[in-house]
């Protein structure tokens, strides 16, 4: 194979490899259409990634069994997470909206629910 053709093939492979998407997990995985989407995306994910996405929760409490309740009150100002910085949160229902997540002792989100957010 001529040298110029070899270089062209190698360069093409580099370009194609660089264009592949990497799995970032749930953080900045796209715009949330509903507040239920916010909950659904995070069940089964790591608590530290949820903090990165939503910022630190305003309230949290730990049970004796190691479970932890995390509460984001969207009506209160706080340190923003990536979803707020990049405007990927739903555009409605933030007037009276609280998100509750429950993490296990291994810091994995096991459940979530919303109050308000209509």
Give pLDDT tens digits for 81-110.
988 888 898 877 667 899 999 999 999 999
Q: What is the CATH number of domain 26-116?
A: 3.30.1450.10
Query: Which of 56, 74, 71, 69 lies closest to 117 in space, CA to CA?
Result: 74
Whether the full predicted model's pTM is greater than 0.85, yes or no, is: no
Give pLDDT tens digits for 24-74.
566 667 789 999 999 999 999 999 999 999 999 999 899 888 899 999 998
The Cα-based distances of 35 to 22, 38, 81, 82 in angstroms read 25, 5, 16, 16
What confidence score (pLDDT) does residue 16 get? 45
Give the β-pairing of 97-103 and 109-116.
antiparallel
What confidence score (pLDDT) does residue 8 get? 46
Which sequence spans correspond to the domains of the chain?
26-116
């Amino acid at each position: 194979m001529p040298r110029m053709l070899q270089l062209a093939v190698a360069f093409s492979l580099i370009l194609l490899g660089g264009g592949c998407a990497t799995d970032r997990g749930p953080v900045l995985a796209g715009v949330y259409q509903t507040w239920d989407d916010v909950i659904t995306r995070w069940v089964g994910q790591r608590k530290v990634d949820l903090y990165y996405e939503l910022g630190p929760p305003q309230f949290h409490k730990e049970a004796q069994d190691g479970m932890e309740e995390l509460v984001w009150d969207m009506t209160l100002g706080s340190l923003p997470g990536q979803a707020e910085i990049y405007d990927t949160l739903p555009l409605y229902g933030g007037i009276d909206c609280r998100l509750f997540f429950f993490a296990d002792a291994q810091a994995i989100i096991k459940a979530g629910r919303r109050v308000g957010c209509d």
